[in-house]
């Protein structure tokens, strides 16, 4: 799937994607806790689907912006979410992320993107753009199915090691955790070389 209308139809039919595994959830809880001394911490959840990770981040204490371009996903997410999460209908490949920054100029302590990066054209650029939205010391957490641990017919939704290396080139600190069929990447700045924003 690549077009917003296809994703929308999937969610409008009441269908979902693979929920967080226990391992993924404990990795997120362990590594994405609100940093000590940060009041009003903010998180951005990219390609949020029906909002499972957004709700986890809100539960950790973040004020959350969550974005997706499938309207049906956002409707279902909003209906199932507590306050503290704001959903935005944005295509992250066409400047939507820049618009998010322009809204209030704020940055995020945590940015997450689960099971979506393999679907994005020009994913290295988008990951760099997300890096430019991180607060100093912030973490970009990308979770992707790994090609070595998926059936061949699902290759299109996965990354392999060379693709992961390409995606993470330029990041100062890269932590990689294997979680079942997925790889969790914890990236810390700068990672946004060459990306600038007009305030
Ligand atoms: C496989 S689903 C994963 C959803 C959710 N992150 C999860 O883990 O359940 C991929 C999500 O990426 C979203 N998506 C794909 N391309 C996008 C884009 N260019 N802009 C915004 N969202 C996008 C889809 O609408 C879909 O919700």
195 domain residue, yes or no: no
**pLDDT at residue 188 is higher than 70:** yes
91 domain residue, yes or no: yes
CATH number of the CATH domain containing 13: 3.40.50.150
Domain that holds residue 127: 4-188
Q: Which of 69, 143, 181, 182 has most ligand 1 atoms within 8 Å of CB, for mutation?
A: 69
Residue 96 · residue 37 · CB < 8 Å: no
194 domain residue, yes or no: no
Atom of ligand 1 at shortest distance to CA of 11? 27
Indicate whether residue 45 lines ligand 1 (CB < 6 A): no
Q: Which of 43, 49, 99, 96 is nearest to 74 (CA)?
A: 49
Over the stretch 14-58, which tens digit does the pLDDT of each residue have?
999 999 999 999 999 999 999 888 888 999 999 999 999 999 999
Distance 116 CA to ligand 1 centre (A): 5
196 domain residue, yes or no: no
165 domain residue, yes or no: yes
Q: Which of 20, 43, 47 has most ligand 1 atoms within 8 Å of CB, for mutation?
A: 47
Three-state DSSP string of 131-198: HCCEEEEEEEEEEEEEHHHCCHHHHHHCECHHHHHHHHCCCCEEEEEEECCEEEEEEECCCCCCCCCC
Domains in the chain, number = 1
Residue nearest atom 12 in ligand 1 by C-alpha distance: 47
Q: Which of 114, 112, 86, 108 is nearest to 16 (CA)?
A: 114
199 domain residue, yes or no: no
36 domain residue, yes or no: yes
On whether the pTM is more than 0.75, the answer is yes
Look at residue 39 in the predicted model and tell me its pLDDT: 85
């Amino acid at each position: 799937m690549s077009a917003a209308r296809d994703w929308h139809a999937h969610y409008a039919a009441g269908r979902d994607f693979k929920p967080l595994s226990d391992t993924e959830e404990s990795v997120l809880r362990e590594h994405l806790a609100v940093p000590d001394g940060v009041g009003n911490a903010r998180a951005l959840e990219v390609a949020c689907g029906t909002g499972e990770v957004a709700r986890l981040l809100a539960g950790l204490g973040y004020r959350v912006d969550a974005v997706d371009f499938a309207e049906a996903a956002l409707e279902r997410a909003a209906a199932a979410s507590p306050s503290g999460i704001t959903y935005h209908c944005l295509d992250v490949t066409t400047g939507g992320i820049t618009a998010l920054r322009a809204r209030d100029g704020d940055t995020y302590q945590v940015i997450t993107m689960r099971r979506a990066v393999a679907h994005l054209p020009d994913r290295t650029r988008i990951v760099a753009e997300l890096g430019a939205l991180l607060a100093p010391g912030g973490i970009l957490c990308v979770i992707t199915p790994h090609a070595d641990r998926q059936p061949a017919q699902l290759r299109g939704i996965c990354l392999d090691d060379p693709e992961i290396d390409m995606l993470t080139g330029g990041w100062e600190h890269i932590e990689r955790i294997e979680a079942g069929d997925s790889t969790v990447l914890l990236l810390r700045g700068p990672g946004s070389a060459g990306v600038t924003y007009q305030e």
